[in-house]
Structure 1
Amino acid sequence: MALSETYLSSDEMHPIDIVETLAEHHEWEFDRVTEDQIAMAVEGQWRTYSLTLAWSPHDETLRLICTFEMEPPTRRMAELHDLLNRCNDLVWTGAFTYWAEQKLMVWRYGLLLAGGQTASAEQIDRLIASAVTASERFYPAFQMVSWADRPAADAINVAIAEAYGRA
């Protein structure tokens, strides 16, 4: 049975209502911050990821950010930025950035739903899964660059090998 068959028709549901229903289904911890925003914790292999999804009716975009704490040494920041560029070249469903002030690695994506379009439960579930999968895939590479003093060119190979190893 498809996710959308499990839930009420998503055609008239607020996008954050759909996210809340998915969080309940997956038994993720969540907090409905406002009518248009939800925060949740999703357990991965490497760590627990903090996800926030927010609906912006102004530009009809469902925004997702998936974060995890990271405080690389200052001397490794140039190499980490090189790695971020390499990671972003390998993905199409979002992008990584590092928020130095908050000490957070961030995966972000915006799903445009212009013209009154709606997102299905499957789309939103896949959006969340994509964020966690990307974070899991590249987490070891971020650690290698930050703490093992490995060059970005070497560390990215770990992420590439990981992807092929789980086919």
Structure 2
Amino acid sequence: MLDQTEHDDDDAAPIDMLEAYYAAHGWDHERQDEEIVASVKGSWATYELRALWREDDSVLQFLAFPDIKVPEDRRASIYETIGLVNEQLWIGHFELWSSTGVLLFRHAAMIDGDDDRTMTLGGAELLVESAIEECERFYPVFQFVLWGGKSPRDALAAALVETQGEA
């Protein structure tokens, strides 16, 4: 977590704030106008994070790609898996791009304000970290279905087992 005390009063345009957040973490990123792409190493994969600011709609579209490509013959089971996984989410959702077979997590954030459409450091952190957490949490589910031969329900049950205590 970044030092909030030095950024308490700082707000910035959404893409500017994400760029500052990525730079503070030392994450590789590229920016082009109202779009920014970063690369973040997680426990399971390296995630591509992509944000697009749509000023006309005051919407920040945030995408996280968990580096999963679904072959044509496995798409029906992944669509079922996505439905079960999305029932578990409060914010955002997983989807499969039908044209490419790429699995992604998507969330849109409304950034309201008449002349002051800004994002706080806390807002950027919440957006980014929640997307990464959901990708990390459900990555094994998709892998169990794709490569482990499990049914979507069995994969979800196996991946979401919570352990108690310490070993």
TM-score above 0.5: yes
TM-score, structure 1 as length reference: 0.88
Q: Distance in 2 between matches of 1:2 and 1:26?
A: 8
Equivalent runs, 1:6-85 vs 2, <5 Å: 6-7=6-7, 9-11=9-11, 13-34=12-33, 36-85=34-83
Query: Identity percentage over the alignment?
Result: 28
Equivalent runs, 1:13-162 vs 2, <5 Å: 13-34=12-33, 36-116=34-114, 117-161=117-161
Please give the root-mean-square deviation of Cα atoms over the aligned residues, in Å.
2.1
- Higher share in helix: 1
Q: Which moved more, 1:97-106 or 1:58-67?
A: 97-106
> How far is the alpha carbon of 1:15 from its aligned partner?
1.1
Q: Which moved more, 1:68-77 or 1:90-99?
A: 68-77
Deviations 1:103-159 (CA, angstroms, capped at 9, x unpaired): 321100011012335321111111101111111111111011111221001001133
Match of 1:111, as an amino acid? A
Query: What are the ranges of 5 or more consecutive residues in structure 2 without an aligned counterpart?
Result: none
- Number of matched pairs: 163
Query: What are the ranges of 5 or more consecutive residues in structure 1 without an aligned counterpart?
Result: none
Match of 2:14, as an amino acid? P
Deviations 1:59-86 (CA, angstroms, capped at 9, x unpaired): 1011100013323333321111111001
> How far is the alpha carbon of 1:41 from its aligned partner?
0.4
Q: Cα–Cα, structure 1 residues 86 and 75, in superposed 2: closer, same or farther, change >3 Å?
A: same
> How far is the alpha carbon of 1:95 from its aligned partner?
0.2
Q: Distance in 2 between matches of 1:3 and 1:123?
A: 14
